[in-house]
Amino acid sequence: MPEEVRRAAGLLERRWTVSILWASYEGASRFNEFRQSVGEIPPTTLAQRLVELEDAGLLERAVIDARPPRVEYRLTEEGLRLKLVVDALSAWALA
Amino acid sequence: MPEEVRRAAGLLERRWTVSILWASYEGASRFNEFRQSVGEIPPTTLAQRLVELEDAGLLERAVIDARPPRVEYRLTEEGLRLKLVVDALSAWALA
DNA sequence: GCTAGTAGCTACGAAAAGCGTAGCGCCTAG
DNA sequence: CTAGGCGCTACGCTTTTCGTAGCTACTAGC
């Protein structure tokens, strides 16, 4: 198994990651939107995952200087491309 | 997110699962084949995952009455269909 | 001003998951 | 009868995840 694939798998192999991606594909972009959309995820874990996904280049954290200021996590190209995987999983699960 | 998808994600969201599936797509079917093919996985974890994948209906455990007797974990239909997901992940990782 | 409320987290201790090493029971080949 | 492979399990430790609490910064309403 190629190293890159192992790294990619390592991302998914942590609890809630798939749900967080799903939420973002559904339009979630703010911390509390994720919380609500994902369900029972503890905020500690959500915070951790968001950092990981950002580090992996799937999400971008942006502090928006409005009032009140807010934080948005936006999908990158790469993050969007990963939707194919989530879709494949979803198709499998529903078949 | 539909309940079925959450359950499917729950399977992947455990360490080594993707690698184990990968190994089985490559032809691994015996305990020590998986160990070797996957790499540094501890036997405790491998044993656990194999039970989980069997419970989930992706693998079938068969004790083969030969001499010496051996144990094989064979992909089911469902397990094979999941290859599409692993392939999608792999394509993503390599792009 | 002065609460009350929302957003986006972090702190803390406990539970669960994963790990590393050792070794057992069963078998066969030499 | 010893040596070695197979398919695990036992044990104790580390890392991850969890649940609850609460903090800081800001604003809307009185």
Partner-chain residue, chosen from B1, B12, B17, that has the shortest CB–CB distance to A22: B1
Q: Which domain range does residue A44 map to? A: 3-94
Distance, Å, B55 CA → C27 C1': 28
- Supply the pTM of this predicted model: 0.91
A12 at B interface, C-beta within 8 A: yes
Task: Quote the pLDDT of residue A67.
Answer: 82
**Which residues is B72 bridged to in the sheet?**
B62
Task: Quote the pLDDT of residue A69.
Answer: 86
For an interface test with A, the pick among B12, B34, B40 (most A C-beta atoms closer than 10 Å) comes out as B12
One-letter amino acid identity for A92? W
Residue nearest to nucleotide C18 (CA to C1'): B45
Dihedral sign for Cα atoms in the order A27, A22, A94, B25: positive
Task: Quote the pLDDT of residue B66.
Answer: 85
Q: Which residue has the higher pLDDT, A58 or A65?
A: A58
pLDDT at A75 over 90: yes
Q: For residue range B41-71, what is the model confidence (pLDDT) as tens digits?
A: 999 999 999 999 999 999 999 999 888 889 9
Q: The domain that contains A9 carries what CATH number?
A: 1.10.10.10
* Whole-angstrom distance, CA of residue A54 vs CA of residue A59: 5
- Tell me how many domains chain B contains: 1
Task: Quote the pLDDT of residue A65.
Answer: 86
